Structure 1
Amino acid sequence: MTQKPSAADIRQAKLDNPKMRDRDLADKLAISEAELVAAHLGQRNGEVITRINPHPDQLMPAISKLGEVMALTRNFSAVHERVGTYGKYTSGAHAAMVVGHEIDLRIFPKHWVHGFAIEQETDRGLRRTLQVFDAAGDAVHKVFMREGSNHDAWAAVVAELTDADQSEGIDVVEATPIEPAKWNPAKRDVLLQEWGKMTDTHQFMRLTSKLGMNRLGAYRLVAGEKWVRPLEISAVETLINRVSELKQRTILFVGNPGNIQIHWGRLDNIKNMGPWVNVLDERFDLHLRNDHVAEVYAVEKPTKRGPAVSLECFDNRGMTIMQVFGMRDPNNDADDLAQWHQIIADLPTLTKEEVPA
């Protein structure tokens, strides 16, 4: 087993690679991003890093004092950036949430393990961020101060959150592998019957768990039936461009095991750069590695308000990269999502034989 670099080695590597993003440098050093940050705890080279309490019960109310900020949640294949203020926070031992017009989060607190407040001089001036990582040192959620943020509150917020332990370095555990597709062919008919009885999308995960399946496994098992249509990989990029052209509002989810971040609204400015499909709007950015998409499905779930139709894509490990639903026009009670349903219906379908087994 290769020995990990010391904190001094990590700091030197950062000095030697001043333009490299932390995540990329961490990969180069074969360490986690949190280990890279923790090696710089304290004040040096124009950078101040403070270990903070990462628990959302303390963090979310504190962040709300910072005014308008940029919230970032990512997984291996997608980055979701949303500008706004942190509104109402609801605590929960297993699941918590921030609900707001712009920043909307579903939080799983057990994964919020390491936290840091970071101040650093950059080519664009002073950058202030709060960053949270899981037990393996992978990023869960980040908050970036903007020009219009309440910078006067920064010092007090950091002081409020500061942890007693400010020693350099952290201990991390091996990352939990992504659960591959799991299904139970013997329960296929039961799955289809119970699926049709749903009245809320949140019932789906309870249903699949009860039947010994997960999301991707259930989709594979019934692909081609009423509720699930397997799509070509190109459907993701096609959908994003079509939504932009038609000014269709969406509800777009990107998450990791510790946090899901949700965008409500349009996707206007689309820019493709190599393998990246980018949405570059004034208050929302999406960066999607289209070459990571391995499976795509159009999925329908019954609800009291009518069918909830989504596009969902997965990587080759079985992890959900992104989910996109249609959003009704909040100013039009007659909006029945017909345009969204047609966008989904027009996406290219895979044959049943092409669905991964």
Structure 2
Amino acid sequence: MNTTLEDISKGSELKEQWHQLKAENPKLRTKNAADELGVSESELVACICDGETVVRLTEDWEGIIKEVETLGKVMALTRNESAVHEKHGTYQNISFEGHAGLVLDENIDLRVFHNRWSFGFAVPVENPRGTLNSLQFFDEAGTAVHKIYLMDEERVGKYNKLVEKFRSDDQTNEIRVKDSIKEKKTVSIDEIDTDEFLQKWSELKDTHDFFPLLRTFKAGRTDALRLAEGRFTWKISNNATRKMLELSSENEVPIMVFVSSPGMIQIHSGPVNRIKVMDHWLNVLDPDFNLHLREDHIAESWIVEKPTEDGIVTALEIYDEEHNAIATFFGARKPGKPELEPWREITNQLKLMEVGV
């Protein structure tokens, strides 16, 4: 899409508004500033694009992600409106096939849906420790899908080389985003054949088979949980996430934490140790893993069981009031291995936490 003089003028006007807002509140994060100014986060980043300090990148998402391996240790960040997932590690064992890619490092574990990405920028970010060089990616609605922060200062040269290699020819300071992204249509819960749906659920062989099951019946995620309540699912107290993290920490039970954006799923596998609550935020503050979760956004919490060839796999799933997934938690496990018994004990305790308690 061609950029017009009017577009550039709008970008310059937005830049002035942001500078004024930053002068009034220097610690305001980009995401919060975008919300306050009524624009998407990518529009706000684009308005300061100058081709030198902030650089727009090409849409070679596969090439960029593969090149991130040269940056050594980085911090990967994936967020949605209610949860922020931060993980330190290196991008290794990278592969792409069709509409999705994988990063399978011991610490950085990602499912990359790069066909949903539309904009990318190299952005210096100021924080209390100084300037962090970052790569930031957004979908066509301007929502952040993934961010990568350089942590090894000795790799700045590698970072600059990556930015130059994937520099876009278009370095204007305005982009056009879509108002919204159409989600795949689901049917009313009353239109789903409950008996057939639950029969197919009982025949699952792998947790990854659940999403095709939902598509087959055109079922919304929380509708599916309601249909299976009492057999495969249990609705529980919205205090369950805090309780689960505390029990996992106290009993040294390694867990898996999934947080997704419109174009990425980011996973932590391992222990959680330092659990801290600050205002509405429930936090995990460990050296290589941070989770920041808005407890006040949790509208529904469910224990969910899925049959697999390795036995029952149990998850804690939490949703906001619009039925968007906030985060999903499992006991840490590898394919071919049964679920950890200590994790099952924790989820059995959570089942006793009644809704509203």
* TM-score (normalised: structure 2): 0.90
1:56 aligns with 2:61: yes
SS in 2 for 1:143: strand
**Correspondences of 1:179-328 after superposition (within 5 Å):** 183-184=189-190, 186-225=192-231, 227-328=232-333
Contact 1:55–1:112 (CA<8 Å) still a contact in 2? no
Alpha-carbon displacement from aligned partner over 1:25-84 (angstroms, at most 9, x marks no partner): 1111111111111110117xxx81000124431211111110100000000000000000
Aligned residue for 1:303, secondary structure, equals: coil
**Residue 163 (structure 1) aligned with residue 168 (structure 2):** yes
Candidates 319, 344, 348, aligned match of 1:341: 344
Q: 1:149 to 1:53 in 2, by over 3 A?
A: farther
TM-aligned CA deviation for residue 274 of structure 1: 0.9
Aligned to 1:19: 27
Q: Is the 8 A contact 1:328 1:335 kept in 2?
A: yes
Residue 232 (structure 1) shift:
1.0
- In structure 2, the CA distance between the partners of 1:181 and 1:140, relative to structure 1 (3 Å rule), is farther
Aligned residues of 2:82 and 2:297 also touching (Cα < 8 A): yes
Superposed CA offset, 1:312-345 (max 9, x none): 0110011111111111499xx9975111101000
Q: Secondary structure at the match of 1:306?
A: coil
- Runs of 5+ in structure 2 lacking a partner? 1-9
Change (3 A) 1:262 1:325: same
- In 1, Cα distance between equivalents of 2:313 and 2:307: 6
Aligned partner of residue 42 in structure 1, secondary structure: coil
AA in 2 matched with 1:165: D
User: Residue 8 of structure 1: CA displacement?
Assistant: 3.3
In 2 relative to 1, CA 79–181 (structure 1 residues): closer, same or farther, beyond 3 Å?
farther
Q: Greater shift after overlay, 248-257 or 89-98?
A: 89-98
For the 8 Å contact 1:99–1:105, the answer to whether it is kept is yes
Query: Residues 186 and 48 (structure 1 numbering): CA distance in 2 closer, same or farther, change over 3 Å?
Result: closer
Deviations 1:71-107 (A, max 9, x none): 0000000000000000122213322221121111111
**TM-score (norm. length: structure 1):** 0.90
CA deviation digits over 1:263-303, x for unaligned, max 9? 01011110110111000001000000011001111111111
Asked if the contact 2:117–2:145 (Cα under 8 Å) also holds between the matched residues in 1, the reply is yes
Provide the C-alpha distance between the structure 2 equivalents of 1:23 and 1:9, rounded to a whole number of angstroms.
15
Provide Cα deviations, 1:192-232, integer angstroms capped at 9, x if missing partner. Answer: 1111111111111111211121222100122122x111111
Say if 1:60 and 1:293 are closer, same or farther in 2 by CA, change over 3 A: same
2:93 and 2:103 in contact (8 A); partners too: yes
Secondary structure at the counterpart of residue 101 of structure 1: coil
- Provide the secondary structure at the position in 2 that maps to 1:113: strand
Shift of 1:149: 5.9
Q: Which amino acid aligns with 2:215?
A: S
State the alpha-carbon separation in 1 of the partners of residues 217 and 19 from structure 2.
49
RMSD: 2.5
Q: What do residues 237-271 of structure 1 show as CA deviations (whole Å, max 9, x unaligned)? A: 11111111111011110001210000010111101
Asked whether the equivalents of residues 146 and 261 of structure 2 are also in contact (C-alpha less than 8 Å), the reply is no
Q: In 2, Cα distance between the equivalents of 1:189 and 1:63?
A: 47
Instruction: Give distance in 1, aligned partners of 2:109 and 2:219.
Output: 28
Letter of the 1:170 partner, please give it: I
Deviates more, 1:66-75 or 1:27-36: 27-36
2:69 partner letter: S
Which AA in structure 1 matches 2:114? P
Q: Deviation per CA, 1:159-203, whole angstroms, max 9, x where unpaired?
A: 011111001111111123777895345411011111111111111
**Cα distance change of structure 1 residues 263 and 148 upon mapping to structure 2, 3 Å threshold:** farther
- Inter-partner Cα distance in structure 1 for 2:23 and 2:95: 41
| 1:133 counterpart = 2:133 | no
Q: Residues of 2 paired with 1:174 and 1:299: CA distance?
A: 33
Q: Equivalent residue for 2:45?
A: 37
Count of aligned pairs between the two proteins: 345
CA distance in 2, matches of 1:228, 1:75: 24
Q: Is the 1:55–1:113 Cα contact (8 Å) retained in structure 2?
A: no
Quote the residue 1:175 is aligned against: 180
Q: Distance in 1 between matches of 2:300 and 2:338?
A: 30
Residues 164 and 297 of structure 1: CA distance in aligned 2, closer, same or farther (over 3 Å): same
One-letter identity of the residue aligned with 1:98: V
Looking at structure 1, the residues matched to 235 and 353 of structure 2 have their Cα atoms a distance apart, in angstroms, of 5
